[in-house]
Chains A and B, each alone.
Chain A
Amino acid sequence: MNQIVLIVVLPLLAAFLVPIVARMSASLGAALGPLVMGVCLWITGTVAIESAGNAFAINIGGFMPPLGITFFVDRLALLFAFLTALLVLVLWPFQGEHRPREHALTLILAAASGGLALSGDLFNIYVFYELVSVASFGLVATGRRSSAPAIRYLILSGFGSVLALVGIALVYTQTGTLNLAHLSQLAPTHLINPIGLAAFALILLGVGVKAELFPVNTWVPEVYATAPNRVSALLAGLVSKLAALVILRLLVLVFAQEQALLVMLLLGLLGVITGELAAWRAQDMNRMLAYSSIGQLGMVFVAFSIPGETGVFAGLAIALHHLVVKPALFLLAARWGGALSGLAGAAGGNLPAALLFTLFALSLVGVPPLPGFWAKLLLVMGLAEQVGPLYHFALAGILIATVVEANYLFRIVSTLFHRDSPASPAPQKHSGGDIATAGLFGASLIAAVLLLIPLSQSLKTIAQQTADAAAYRAVVTLAPTTSTLGDTQ
């Protein structure tokens, strides 16, 4: 089962070689990337079947955990590794001119995302996070006018990395280790204190840049409005979820203290409210989707701040739902990127796209029986169970945000189907590939409705496994010398 490391290594190998292969044979170079992503998909699938849901750890280089770097493979990690390969494959830049460098960056993004899902070492997570960052800056900058948003994104993200690095330094000063299982073992004595809280806040702000967390999300509207839509779809759909996954892991294992949960609840709630209000005011499709993405990620953070398995379950449900819906919406926005008022009667010329948009909008708002409804229901029920005024305040905030969300999304849907269109020229037709891909996402959404019970059960198992820090520590066997040293500290 240690071939799971290949899902990080093979895309990197392919990325290094793509420019050379493309020089020798253009068609081979164009085929290399999708081929490797297909192999990754297959590897993840076989490992998932082989492991049968039991978590296991692999030690890179064969060194015992706190000395070397560990990859921790459980259901959640495999799920996100699988979704990474799948989403990158679905959103692969097949169309347009073939640029080997763009393929190389996409492959690096896939490798680093896989690494983020698997890694069980704090500094290794930082390295993969930076790799995701650099690859995404490059991909964002491929847009025609996205150099300025890309550099503003880079500066914010770079400063976030500095904060995260300071947080890691604080953790290392306190504990002298980086392995998540070892940290989890030492946390009750070394990190449940103000310094631990400060370290969490710094890492949260640093990793939160990619996760569109409230104060560090100013890049989102600019980048999503100017980057190529497939890149926006990857960032909003995949990268933001992986950053949230990292924060979830750290919260469950290392920083499991009440104040940390409250910080996250507050920032998440602010994200929901500001995001949805800004989306309500937005006048063009791309920025509306960007702000709505901030709101949805805020809901994920609110959910993760509910302690225990309930919060993980609700948060994962919202995150996965958003992962399916938002890339599809960005694909549909590729031709509908103009002003929202210019979309009047667009359904007349392009009925499938309009119907798909309606489906995604309904699910995003949470109209039963679509999956979005069940995800939101889990969150609302989880919040209602908690005691404490802040949780109930968050509950009210989420419900108000849903009303706002419904208002602006239904406004767009009614514009789309508004018959007597004014003299404005009809928007361009979508390319066949975009519609087909969006249709694929729509089909999986409908399939999720039909398979709701088995899906929610397996998601519940994943949440149980993820929320169990003791099980994580049991899987990673630490080298004997360091664990005794830890006791004498």
Chain B
Amino acid sequence: MTLFGLEITLDLILYTGAFGLIVIGAAGIVLAHHLFRVILALAIAEAGANLLLVLSGYRWDAIAPILSGSESAAPMVDPVPQAMVLTAIVIGVGVQALAVGLAMQVKKTYGTLDMSAIRQRLEADIAGTAGIATTGSQDAPLGERPLPPADAVPVTPGSSAR
């Protein structure tokens, strides 16, 4: 099958899929405003990398790498990338679970999951801790160190003072 003069083959589809997922993930990480979407974009990019990894061991003429009875002489696909992908997927699960846990904590601390709002409040927070006046930090008390107890009341974005 050809499309726009380009022959569509299985490997073209697969590589486009893998690289496309990585690019979609990269774009999502930088463009998404909602923290949870950023975490999802990270998961998408990871899926692309895993697909690329498992493609690196494929052979046209081969079967799954499991020995069964007599036909063990048949060529098999490379088992090493499959083992690596298994590892990479589990690593991805661990990182994503931790990301979701952190996101819940962020929601508790800042009352929002909007990336730019978090970034602004973070800047103000650091500057406030250090006792420096910065432009655009109306809600950070100056002077002393505003370290509330860990179980402080969550600050909603609407409130202007703690």
* Interface residue ranges, A against B (CB under 8 Å): 123, 127, 130, 133-134, 137-138, 141, 144-145, 147-152, 154-155, 158-159, 161-162, 165-166, 168-169, 172-173, 176, 178, 222, 225-226, 283-287, 337-339, 342
Cβ contacts under 8 Å, A339 to chain B:
130-132
Q: Given A154-B99, A226-B126, A338-B131 in contact, is the A166-B109 Cβ separation under 8 Å?
A: no
State the CA gap A168–B54 with chains docked (Å).
11
**13 A-B contact pairs sorted by A residue (CB < 8 Å):** A138-B98, A148-B110, A148-B122, A151-B99, A152-B122, A165-B53, A169-B55, A172-B81, A284-B130, A284-B132, A285-B130, A286-B130, A287-B130
Residue B34 is within 8 A (CB to CB) of chain A in the complex: no
Find chain A residues with CB under 8 A from B119 CB: 152
Q: Are A166 and B46 in contact (CB under 8 A)?
A: no
Spell out B's residues near A (CB within 8 Å): 22, 25-26, 29, 35, 38-39, 42, 45-46, 48-50, 52-53, 55-57, 78, 80-81, 84, 87-88, 91, 94-95, 98-99, 102-103, 105-106, 108-110, 118-119, 121-122, 125-127, 129-132, 145, 147, 150
Q: A133 CA to B35 CA in the complex, in Å?
A: 20
A157: nearest chain-B partner, CB-CB: B95
Q: Which residues on B sit within 8 Å (CB–CB) of A284?
A: 126-127, 129-132
Q: Give Cα distance in the complex from A454 to B35, angstroms.
A: 53
Contacts A145-B125, A342-B131: A151 and B103 contacting too (C-beta < 8 A)? yes
Contact B106 A165, beta carbon cutoff 8 Å: no
Contact A144 B147 (CB under 8 A): yes
* Chain A residues in 8 Å Cβ range of B147: 144-145
| Closest Cβ neighbor of A176 among chain B residues | B78
Least CB distance, A137 to chain B, in whole angstroms: 6
Q: A166-B49, A225-B126 are known contacts. Are A155 and B87 too (CB-CB below 8 A)?
A: no
- Complex interface: chain B residues within 8 A of A152 (CB): 118-119, 122
- Which chain B residues border A169 with CB–CB below 8 Å? 49, 52-53, 55-56, 81
**Please, how many angstroms separate the alpha-carbon atoms of A123 and B80 in the complex?**
10
User: Which A residue's beta carbon lies closest to that of B81?
Assistant: A172
Residues of B within 8 A of A130 (CB): 91, 95
Contacting pair B145 A338 (CB below 8 A):
yes
Given the complex, which residues of A lie within 8 Å of B129, measured CB to CB? 145, 225-226, 284, 337-338
Q: A158's contact among B48, B87, B95, by CB below 8 Å, is which? A: B95
**In the docked arrangement, what's the CA distance between A154 and B118, Å?**
15
The 4 A-B residue pairs whose C-beta atoms are closest, nearest first, are A284-B130, A147-B105, A165-B49, A173-B56
Inter-chain contact A158/B109, CB cutoff 8 Å: no
Closest CB-CB distance, A363 to chain B, in whole Å? Answer: 25
Contacts of B53 in A (CB 8 A): 165, 168-169, 172
| Pair A283/B126 contact, Cβ less than 8 Å | no
Cα distance A222–B121 in the bound complex, in angstroms: 12
CA distance A134 to B88 in the complex (A): 14
User: Closest CB of chain B to A366's CB: distance in Å?
Assistant: 27
Task: Give complex CA distance A178, B88 in Å.
Answer: 15
Question: Closest CB-CB distance, A421 to chain B, in whole Å?
Answer: 15
Set of chain A residues within 8 Å of B29, measured between Cβ atoms: 155, 159
Report Cα–Cα, A286/B121, bound state, in Å.
18
Complex contacts, B56 vs chain A, CB 8 Å: 169, 172-173
Query: Which residues of chain B have C-beta atoms less than 8 A from A225's C-beta?
Result: 126, 129-130
CB distance from A65 to the nearest CB of B (A): 14
CB-contact partner of B39 in A155, A161, A285, under 8 A: A155
| A166 and B22 contact, CB distance less than 8 A | yes
10 additional contacts (CB under 8 A) given A123-B84, A168-B53, A172-B81:
A141-B102, A147-B102, A147-B108, A151-B102, A162-B42, A172-B80, A226-B126, A284-B131, A337-B130, A338-B130
Q: Are A134 and B95 in contact (CB under 8 A)?
A: yes
Complex CA gap A283/B130 in Å reads 8
Structural contact, B132 and A283, CB atoms closer than 8 A: yes
Residue of chain A at shortest CB distance from B97: A134
A222 to B126, CA, bound (A): 8
